[in-house]
Copies of this chain bind each other. A is one copy, B any other.
Amino acid sequence: MNSGEVDLRVSFCGLTLNNPVMPASGCFSYGREMKDFYDLNLLGAVVVKATTLAEREGNPTPRVAETPAGMLNSIGLQNPGVSRVVREELPYLRRVAAVPVIVNVAGTMVEDYVAVVEALNHSADLDAIELNISCPNVKCGGIQFGTDPTMAADMVRTMKCASRYPVIVKLSPNVTSIVDMAQACEKAGADAISLINTLIGMQIDIEKKRPLLGNGIGGLSGPAIKPVALRMVYEVAASVSVPVIGIGGIATGRDAIEFLQAGATAVQVGTANFTDPYVCPRIVDEVRSWCALHEVARVRDLIGAANPRARRVTDG
B-contacting residues of A (Cβ < 8 Å)?
Answer: 67-70, 72, 147, 174-176, 199-206, 209-211, 217-218, 220, 222-228, 230-231, 234, 249, 254, 257-258, 261-262, 290, 305-306
Contacts and interface: CB of A to CB of B under 8 A. Distances in A.
A211 B228 CA distance: 13
A203 B258 contact: yes
B200 A228 contact: yes
Given A68-B249, A69-B68, A220-B228, A206 B176 contact: no
A69 B226 CA distance: 11
A68 B68 CA distance: 8
Contacts of A249: 68
Contacts of A226: 67-68
Given A174-B176, A220-B228, A204 B262 contact: yes
B224 A201 contact: no
Contacts of A290: 206
A258 B204 contact: yes
Nearest to A174: B176
A70 B72 contact: no
Contacts of A68: 68-70, 222-224, 226, 249
A227 to B, nearest CB: 3
A1 to B, nearest CB: 16
Contacts of A206: 254, 257-258, 261, 290, 306
B199 A228 contact: yes
